[in-house]
Amino acid sequence: MEQFGYLSIGIIVSYLVGAIPFGLFLAKIKGIDILNQGSGNIGATNVGRVLGAKYGLAVFVLDALKGALPAKAGMLYLDTPLGPEIAGILMGASAIFGHLFPIYLKFKGGKGVATALGIFLVLSPKAVFFALIVFILTVTITRYISLGSVLAALSAPLVILLLNHPQPIFLATLFIAALVIWRHNSNIRRLLDGTENRFKA
């Protein structure tokens, strides 16, 4: 029972950490309201387009840590009847919910790519390696970051399935990948319409 109480607190804290809008904060340092610039998204892609690659990369790393640290903390310090892996999954999932629906911004958040990457790094680094290859190849060939993100998210659970990871990890990865793809629904519509913005090197 005591461990369940700690896990509940961990899940709440993970949500609050995941909800921290690093993109908004870094843009404000430059005197820019990122919510009114570009796509209005707080994620790394929009920050990179508006402020430059250096700021976009900083947001990407910080958003990835929002997913990786709670997931790792859950696996290291908490437990469930099904094992510490489940604690990590629950805390990681809570963190990405925080990023997608941040209480600080009236539940209007980013698209979850970097935060999902952080969680996947904890659950299966090999899956991340293959997903990054998919992302890089897709963006290099098509110049669409959104398409690369969607295909990378789709590939992660497939690789985890092929690697015979435990079922909870596969299901968690599938769920998180579905969230990321769902958050890209507007990008997918623009891709189908031929109006999506291409990446400019």
The whole-angstrom separation of Cα 168 and Cα 86 is 7
Q: What is the mean pLDDT of residues 76-105?
A: 89
- 153-196 tens-digit pLDDT: 999 999 999 998 889 899 999 999 999 999 999 999 999 998 88
With a pLDDT cut of 70, the percent of the chain lying above it is: 97
Residue 195 CA to its chain's centroid (Å): 24
- 150-160 tens-digit pLDDT: 999 999 999 99
For residues 88 and 72, is the Cβ–Cβ distance under 8 A? yes
What is the pTM (predicted TM-score) of this model?
0.90
* Nearest one of 92, 112, 104, 118 to 185, comparing CA atoms: 112
- Per-residue pLDDT at 201 exceeds 70: no
Q: Which of 76-85, 108-117, 154-163 has the lowest mean pLDDT?
A: 76-85
For residues 118 and 67, is the Cβ–Cβ distance under 8 A? yes
Spatial neighbors of 23 by CB under 8 A, at least 6 apart, are 34, 41, 42, 43, 44, 46, 47, 59, 63, 110
